[in-house]
């Protein structure tokens, strides 16, 4: 009938274990990613996202094992990001069982890498993950800037222009995270989401700041995203994925409830 | 029964393999799921699955790069009449030609070109990524027992292109995305899904089970 909005739980994974940061600090170890993935699969999640935040290069291979074990148990679409820097990284993730990969810092450093990856694996498989903060002051026109290194490093790059450039290079989807909203539970940065979603022809996933189910509704209805990503509200059991989807459906958004 | 899933460097091969294993196990079907890049294993398989992720031309090139693989496919599927299932770009390769980036010849099993989707509604995003329901255009054994239509089960799509079949009878199911787009094709012993059965949970497992039982 119509394409449904997607609810995507995101698991931050470090050294093969799940963590969730509040604004990317104060990490709390909270379990086995494969167990969480199975629970989300059973709960009707429309996709699952793993973000690998493993810092040490010694442990970089742990994510491949997590992805492979997840793919054995879950028949749901899986996007994996974090530390994706080369065509070889992407191939390994896809072979392990990922359906899409998200590219973050490497896209900022070298936009041509996105073009190379899209050429090799198809646009539909390449998600560009854009972390930005609002940098405009009170009374100024909205402006957002790209930040890297978990939000610590400013780049001076305009987020909206960057989003358009990434789509030109072949990004099939954009994952927009508001770094100033992330972990604050005050809702997505709707102006950011809508500005970019209305500007690009590819699907946009809203991310960063979900505290309640109305925020998910707003992300789709007001932000014009086609998917909403959330971590802590699901991971700490504040709401189930099923509750979230039913709530969104009750608020007029076409959802998959089978 | 041995089911060959063709490994030519494209596609989420592990997901596909695991989904076929699970479908067989849950349905009590004795099937060896054989992920293989060896043409002789494909030529002699009881059923053949061609997955595929990426661009049409790249996938065709990847398939041709495995020496003897297209011949093995033709031997098993065209001459042997064994059941075949293409998935995503694997389905698109069943067409006459792909028009993504460049013009590429397909396997020419389903007459028609693979073209960029142009939804009537300009707000619709390309690629179509996510869950959508199917409109069944005609009965087919692979959809036996699967609820379709508005209240039916959902299938998972990730695609920008679709197969515009010349013969309407080849189209088993469409998906509404600013107009009807081709979701499932079949002709004789050959079938293909634009969506990902291996990611489509209950619909996908039911369709894979039907494929394992299919006697075209």
Cβ atoms of B113 and B104 within 8 Å: the answer is no
> Model's pTM, two decimal places?
0.94
Q: Any CB–CB contact under 8 A between A45 and chain B?
A: no
Cβ atoms of B150 and B135 within 8 Å: the answer is no
Nearest to A191 by CA among A110, A133, A231, A107: A133
**pLDDT 10s digits, B135-183:** 999 999 999 999 999 999 999 999 999 999 999 999 999 999 999 999 9
Any domain includes A103:
yes
**Residues whose CB falls within 8 Å of the CB of residue B118, separated by 6 or more in sequence, listed in order:** B178
Number of folded domains in chain A? 1
Q: What is the pLDDT of residue A258?
A: 86
CB atoms A5 and B160 under 8 Å:
no
Q: What is the pLDDT of residue A211?
A: 95
- Average pLDDT, rounded, for chain A: 91
Number of A:B CB contacts under 8 A? 116
Mean of pLDDT values over B101-121: 95
CB atoms A172 and B127 under 8 Å:
yes
CB atoms A1 and B204 under 8 Å:
no
Structural tokens at position B90: 């694997």
Domain boundaries, chain B: 2-213
State how far residue B1 is from chain A, nearest Cα, in angstroms.
Answer: 22
Flag the least confident range among A64-78, B29-43, B166-180: A64-78
Mean of pLDDT values over A102-109: 95
Q: What is the CATH number of the domain that holds A15?
A: 3.20.20.70
CB-count exposure of residue A148 (10 Å: 0-12, 13-18, 19+): middle
> How far apart, in whole angstroms, are the C-alpha atoms of residue B132 and residue A4?
6
CATH class for the domain made up of B2-213? alpha beta
Does B118 score more than 70 pLDDT? yes
Flag the least confident range among A84-88, A170-174, B192-196: A84-88
> How far apart, in whole angstroms, are the C-alpha atoms of residue B102 and residue A71?
33
Higher pLDDT, B57 or B212: B212
Element (H, E) at A12: strand A6-14
Any domain includes A143:
yes
**Among candidates A3, A72, A122 on the partner chain, residue whose Cβ is nearest the Cβ of B55:** A122
- Average pLDDT, rounded, for chain B: 95
Does A57 score more than 80 pLDDT? no
**Looking at residue A85, what DSSP letter applies?**
-
- Catalytic positions of A are 12, 131
**Residues whose CB falls within 8 Å of the CB of residue B193, separated by 6 or more in sequence, listed in order:** B85, B86, B87, B88, B91, B155, B183, B184, B207
Kindly indicate whether the ipTM for this predicted assembly is greater than 0.95, answering yes or no. no
Q: What is the pLDDT of residue B53?
A: 82
Any domain includes A166:
yes
**Among candidates A76, A95, A97 on the partner chain, residue whose Cβ is nearest the Cβ of B201:** A76
> How far apart, in whole angstroms, are the C-alpha atoms of residue A63 and residue A53?
10
Q: Any CB–CB contact under 8 A between A71 and chain B?
A: yes
**Looking at residue A5, what DSSP letter applies?**
B
Q: What is the pLDDT of residue A1?
A: 66
Structural tokens at position A201: 């022809």
Q: What is the pLDDT of residue A29?
A: 47
> How far apart, in whole angstroms, are the C-alpha atoms of residue B200 and residue A178?
30
> How far apart, in whole angstroms, are the C-alpha atoms of residue B71 and residue B173?
29
**pLDDT 10s digits, A205-229:** 999 999 999 999 999 999 999 999 9
Chain A residue numbers with beta carbons less than 8 Å from the beta carbon of B129 are 6, 124, 172-173, 203, 226-227
Q: What is the pLDDT of residue A20?
A: 62
Q: What is the pLDDT of residue A23?
A: 36
Element (H, E) at B5: strand B2-6
**Closest-approach residue (CA) in chain A for B153:** A258
**Closest-approach residue (CA) in chain B for A227:** B130
Any domain includes A135:
yes
Q: Are strands B171-176 and B135-136 parallel, antiparallel or unpaired?
A: antiparallel
Catalytic site includes residue B140: no
Q: What is the pLDDT of residue B10?
A: 67
Q: What is the pLDDT of residue A30?
A: 52
Structural tokens at position B204: 């996908």
Any domain includes A66:
yes
Does B11 score more than 80 pLDDT? no
CB atoms B199 and A97 under 8 Å:
no
Mean of pLDDT values over B51-71: 92
Does B116 score more than 90 pLDDT? yes
Nearest to B153 by CA among B210, B85, B212: B210
**Among candidates A4, A99, A125 on the partner chain, residue whose Cβ is nearest the Cβ of B132:** A4
Any domain includes A18:
yes
Q: What is the pLDDT of residue A165?
A: 98
Domain region containing A100 = 6-251
């Amino acid at each position: 009938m119509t394409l449904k909005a997607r609810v995507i739980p995101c698991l931050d994974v470090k050294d093969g274990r799940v963590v969730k940061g509040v604004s990317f600090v104060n990490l709390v170890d909270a379990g086995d990613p494969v167990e969480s993935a199975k629970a989300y699969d059973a709960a009707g999640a429309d996709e699952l996202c793993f973000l690998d935040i493993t810092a040490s290069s010694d442990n970089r291979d742990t994510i491949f094992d997590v992805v492979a074990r997840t793919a054995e148990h879950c028949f749901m679409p899986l996007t994996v990001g974090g530390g994706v820097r080369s065509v070889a990284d992407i191939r390994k993730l896809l072979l392990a069982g990922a359906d899409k990969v998200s590219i973050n810092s490497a896209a900022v450093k070298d936009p041509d890498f996105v073009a190379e990856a899209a050429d090799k694996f198809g646009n539909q498989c390449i998600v560009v993950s854009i972390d930005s903060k609002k940098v405009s002051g009170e009374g100024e026109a909205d402006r957002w800037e790209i930040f890297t290194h978990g939000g610590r490093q400013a780049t001076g790059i305009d987020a909206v222009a960057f989003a358009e450039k990434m789509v030109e290079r072949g990004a099939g989807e954009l994952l927009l995270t508001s770094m100033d909203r992330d972990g604050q539970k005050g809702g997505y940065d709707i102006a950011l989401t809508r500005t970019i979603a209305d500007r690009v022809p590819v699907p946009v996933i809203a991310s960063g700041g979900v505290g309640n189910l109305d925020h998910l509704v707003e992300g789709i209805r007001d932000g014009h995203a086609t998917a909403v990503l959330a971590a802590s509200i699901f991971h700490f059991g504040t709401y189930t994925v099923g509750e979230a989807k039913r709530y969104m459906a009750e608020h007029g958004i076409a959802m998959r409830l089978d | 029964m041995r089911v060959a899933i063709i490994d030519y460097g494209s596609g989420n091969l592990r997901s596909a393999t695991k989904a076929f294993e699970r479908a067989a196990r849950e349905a009590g079907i004795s099937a060896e799921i054989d992920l293989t890049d060896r043409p002789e294993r494909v030529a002699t398989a009881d059923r053949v699955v061609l997955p595929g992720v990426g661009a049409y031309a790249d996938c065709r090139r990847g398939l041709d790069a495995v020496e003897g693989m297209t011949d093995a496919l033709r031997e098993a599927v065209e001459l042997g009449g064994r059941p075949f299932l293409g998935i995503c770009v694997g389905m698109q390769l069943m067409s006459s030609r792909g028009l993504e980036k460049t013009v590429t010849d397909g396997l020419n099993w389903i007459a028609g070109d693979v073209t960029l989707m142009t939804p009537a509604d300009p707000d619709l995003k390309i690629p179509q990524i996510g869950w959508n329901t199917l409109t069944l255009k005609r009965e087919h054994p692979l959809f036996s027992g699967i609820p379709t239509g508005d209240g039916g089960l959902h299938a998972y799509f990730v695609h920008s292109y679709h197969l515009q079949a010349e013969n309407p009878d080849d189209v088993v199911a469409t998906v509404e995305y600013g107009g009807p787009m081709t979701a499932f094709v079949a002709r004789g012993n050959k079938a293909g899904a634009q969506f990902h059965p291996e990611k489509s949970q209950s619909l996908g497992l039911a369709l894979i089970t039907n494929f394992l039982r299919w006697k075209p």
